[in-house]
Chain A
Amino acid sequence: MSDPGSSPLVFPSVEWFQALRELVNSDEEFRRLGNIDAVMGVKVGERVFVITFEAFECTGVREGTEYDLIDADFFLEMTVEQWRELVTNTQENDGADLSHTLNTLDLMIEGGISDNATGDQLRADVFFRVNQSLQHFFDSSARLETVFE
């Protein structure tokens, strides 16, 4: 959970992803998983966020537009309700439970959740190449006190 006394963070927002960024950048376990070089888009309903990972850190978080997804290695897209379910499930289980891991959602949700905007399969595969780090990233949100828009 966030520091006692601090305000809950709103999902989705740059502040929420920024807090997640700070969590993993000070997390030895995240670093130990190895280098991660990826630009990840996160599409929550109509809103787009761009998360950049470089070497052993999350180096950037910003809000963007659909056009930014063209430059992303891959982007994760779900409806607002599906994201809300994932974040809630992560909080309740101290990490995604067995049916809410990123790979599982990608296989179970119609059309998948991860893709490359230009059809570049090599870049789309970055989602798989660093999957444990991505899972760790989103699992870390269990430590954020979150409210929803």
Chain B
Amino acid sequence: MYGLSQILLPLRLVMALEEEQQQAESEGNEPAAAPEAPPSANAEPLAWMKDTVQWGVRAEPGKHGLTMRDLNVGIYGEIPESSSDMSRRPRGAFPIPGVPRTDLYALSAKVDLWADNAVDLYEEAIQRRWMGHLEVDWDDITPQPIEVELAMRQLCTELAQQASMETDIIGQWLHKMNYAYHEVKTFLASEIFDTGRHYTLFRRRALHNDGSLGLESAGQFNRRMMETRPGWTEVGMFLYMVRGPLTLLLYRYGEAYARNRADKFLFRKCVEDKARHMAYGMAHVKYAVDNQPPGFGQGLGNLMRGVERDLVRDLKDPVLWEALAIIISGSVANMAQGMAVVEDFKQRYIEDYLKRMQWAGINKTEANLSPDLAAFLRREETAEAGG
């Protein structure tokens, strides 16, 4: 049943338009050029109510509520291998002839952006959302010795920058993705929201206790991610499998060496978000490697040779490592102890990077790793040989 207001609404709209036109003519304005026939499928009044691609679709809520996955039934769950639709028509909506295209989606093939887990990760992002400004007990973050404060500010400045980079990188690809793949688009929208949150929270943490922001981070790898053009898969590999493990580890060490429960909570919730982002990225890269023509994964591996050089240049910058060493050890005087943990961190990072690349089907091993990065893995051998 439809209420009277719903039936009268279209009539009111027509009357309002006619009134507007009469008013324009009475004011001496040229009447607007008559638009071409409106893009309706049927001129009969209210006929649009009968237009649907499929009747009778029923979605049932599950234990998680009525999720995006639950709604993927009937035609609404048909995910095309490619889409030539250049409008913003929601998948499953009734197509209207003559609607001008609104974009030229460069990513209109499923293989260019898809991950099977995106639909569930979107729900996870929505249902596990958090509000740092309310949920972090900021009053619990009491001042530490100035060197620890400065080190924490530096770490948080770098983390804020990493987050804002991620926002921009996803932003410049999101509008290129076809709406047929709304699972991915909405998940990435949630990721932008997350990275926006991370940016503001780490900036706030740096400024807490009459603080200040530290130095901006070395930017070679940032630039590489921003300027990569061949495809989202390549950018995704950089973002989620090279930068991602570094950010995740920084969050994890931030949690482990926090000096109060508020910082513990802040870093732990960021760990959750980052791991979720990486779950999409890893699954997408693996999907692309499995479904692109043979040799695609090899190409991704080859691409890393140059990229690793940028990574090495960033990793040689001492600022982040010194800050981390001070946070870990609690003082400049004990920094050497902290630096030993930092060396473990670097080794763990490179191991993690290799593991994730291999998981996605990319042949990245110690044997074909940049020698400078491989050196991080041989720290124990070097220490034993030297000592």
Chain A positions within 8 Å of B, measured between CB atoms, are 33-35, 37, 54-57, 98, 101, 103-104, 106-108, 120-122, 125, 128-132, 135
User: How far, in angstroms, from A37 to B264 measured CA to CA in the complex?
Assistant: 23
Min C-beta distance of A145 to chain B, whole Å:
24
- A101 contacts B355, C-beta separation under 8 Å: no
Interface contact A128-B128, CB-CB below 8 Å: no
Q: List 29 A-B contacts (CB under 8 A).
A: A34-B128, A34-B129, A35-B64, A35-B124, A35-B127, A37-B120, A55-B63, A98-B259, A98-B260, A98-B261, A98-B264, A101-B255, A101-B268, A103-B252, A103-B268, A107-B253, A108-B256, A121-B359, A122-B117, A122-B282, A128-B248, A128-B274, A128-B275, A129-B124, A129-B276, A130-B128, A130-B272, A132-B265, A132-B268
For residue B269, which residues in chain A have a CB less than 8 angstroms away from its CB? 132
Write the B274-288 contact mask toward A (1 if CB under 8 angstroms, else 0): 111011001100000
In the bound complex, how far is the Cα of B255 from the Cα of A98, in angstroms?
A: 9
Residues of B contacting A: mostly: helix
Q: How far is the CB of A144 from chain B (nearest CB, A)?
A: 21
Residues of chain B with a CB closer than 8 A to A103's CB: 252, 255-256, 268, 271
Given contacts A35-B124, A55-B63, A131-B272, contact A122 B255 (CB under 8 A): no
Contact between chains at B127 and A34 (CB < 8 Å):
yes
Q: How far is it, in angstroms, between the C-alpha of A129 and the C-alpha of B120 when the chains are bound?
A: 12
Residues from chain B with Cβ under 8 Å of A108 in the complex: 256
Known: A35-B124, A104-B256, A121-B359. A131 touches B271 (CB 8 A): yes
B263 to chain A minimum Cβ distance, whole angstroms, is 9
Nearest chain-B residue to A104 (Cβ)? Answer: B256
Complex: chain B residue closest to A132, CB-CB: B268
**B356 at interface by CB-CB < 8 Å:** yes
Chain A residues whose C-beta falls within 8 Å of the C-beta of B117 in the assembled complex: 122
Establish whether residues A35 and B123, one from each chain, have CB atoms under 8 Å apart when the complex forms: yes
Number of B residues near A (Cβ < 8 Å) is 35
Interface centre among A34, A56, A57, A120 (most CB of B within 10 A): A34
A-B interface, 3 closest residue pairs, ranked by CB to CB distance from nearest: A34-B128, A128-B275, A55-B63
- Contact digits for B232-272, partner A, Cβ 8 Å, 1 yes 0 no: 00000000000000001000110110111100110011011
Measured CB to CB, the closest approach of chain A to B252, in angstroms, equals 6
Count A-B pairs with CB separation below 8 Å: 74
Which of A104, A122, A129 contacts B272, CB < 8 Å? A129
Instruction: List B residues 55-85 near A (Cβ within 8 Å).
Output: 62-64
Tell me the B127-154 residues at the A interface (CB within 8 Å). 127-129
Cα of A98 to Cα of B276 in the assembled complex, Å: 24
A17 to B267, CA, bound (A): 27
- In Å, the complex CA distance between A108 and B253 comes to 10
Interface centre among A56, A106, A128 (most CB of B within 10 A): A128
User: Nearest-CB distance from B242 to chain A (Å)?
Assistant: 15
Q: Give bound CA distance, A57 to B64, whole Å.
A: 10
- A35 with B128: CB separation less than 8 A: yes
Report whether A121 and B264 are in contact in the complex, using a CB–CB cutoff of 8 Å.
Answer: no
Q: Residue of A at shortest CB range from B253?
A: A107
A128 & B272 in contact (Cβ 8 Å cutoff): yes
- CB neighbours (8 Å) of A122 from chain B are 117, 279, 282-283, 359
Cα A98 to Cα B263 in complex, Å, equals: 10
Q: Which residue in chain B gives the minimum CB-CB distance to A34?
A: B128
- The residue of chain B having its C-beta at the shortest distance from the C-beta of A135 within the complex is B268
CB contacts (< 8 Å) of A33 on chain B: these are: 128
Query: Chain A CB within 10 Å — which of B128, B278, B359 has the most?
Result: B128
In the complex formed, the residue of A with least CB distance to B120 is A37
B365 CB, nearest partner CB in chain A, Å: 15
Shortest C-beta distance, A79 to chain B (Å), equals 20
A34:B124 contact, CB within 8 angstroms: yes
Question: How far is B355's CA from A133's CA once the two chains are assembled, in angstroms?
Answer: 26
Which chain B residue shows the least CB distance to A33?
B128
Cβ proximity bits B293-319 to A, threshold 8 Å, 1 near / 0 not? 000000000000000000000000000
Asked if B268 and A125 sit within 8 Å, CB to CB, the answer is: no
Least distance between B184 CB and chain A CB atoms (Å): 17
Please give, as numbers and ranges, the residues of chain A lying within 8 Å of B283 by CB-CB distance: 122
